[in-house]
Structure 1
């Protein structure tokens, strides 16, 4: 289910419509530029037809001047269109990079969420293990005190032996719990390191995306300027 708000969707639709309009205008100018050979033939045919007509000498000179202006305008327009195509390629490249950055960013966010959950689980396990270790330490200490009391009463040697065995069992259990706590500590440190690494990576991706957004805006602005120049050339040519 999409999390985009109506305002976000509206902004996306407006940007998409604006983009389609820009492409349509650019294609119109490009197609008009491709018709140059047809217009050039028309100019040349007219000039050839009036080449030896002295009556139309003045008109021929003005028409020839118009033809040269037309050719010059076409050359300028061709250069602008070439630049626009290069800028369009830059836009496509920037857009691809931004999409990749978005996908990588989403993946890293999911990884961070997973790591947060794992870190919290490990912390809880570590806390429980510490509590068990503390309780066992208290039991061992209590058994040691009780054992000392029994040893002082040598007539209870059998019971003292049983107490020694119980204490040894508790000591082994305490050692096991201590090792478990140490292992959980290592796991927690490793998870925290992974979390820090992914978080730094995500920050770099965010910075790259922001840089890409700025670069894309610059390229689009350059295309708009070149498009305006091409439109101006076209309008000037039509007026002549």
Structure 2
């Protein structure tokens, strides 16, 4: 389905989403090029950031170009195989985005709470392993959703209530209420939603607790950039927050 049936809004929507798409892709490409070209940025934090930028490019390229083509050609038809492909890519990039944000939160936790052991803990092997695990978990989630959709064999000339192939919208088209599918959906939502968010909140809770215990003037002098800069920013923020309260 389109975002609007008004023909006068189609050029405006096309220009708006095209500009947003180009800004997002070019911005993330600049981040990747800047990190890869500067040897000083070859650290775990920027390694995960470059991977996150790549995932963001893949995520937005999965949904927006097809929508722009639909607006321009006034044709909103997609094949069954094309829809399954979009679901697979969409699931991989969305889940990997969440996984990488969790890994980056863990990286900041180690950098601030264990600065003397940071280079030992966050070594190249661990960074590669965490990125690989994030990809494999995202691939597993994507394929589980595909398996549930492949069980539905009655697709023919149906309307998807979204501007892209959303797995939840496709599963709602099933004529039979499969409780096992609902259990799998809730289980995946808990694993790939609740656990990453909990990990991020726990990491930053430990970071804030460590900053409140150690004076900023003492902690920042013992840390090397960019860890020291991160420490100073957190310390300044917490001092301002305490003064306001």
Alignment TM-score, normalising by the size of structure 2: 0.31
Instruction: Tell me: higher relative CO, structure 1 or 2? Use CA pairs within 8 A at least 6 residues apart.
Output: 1
Pick the structure with greater CA Rg: 1
User: Would you tell me which structure has more helix in proportion to its own residues?
Assistant: 1
Alignment TM-score, normalising by the size of structure 1: 0.31
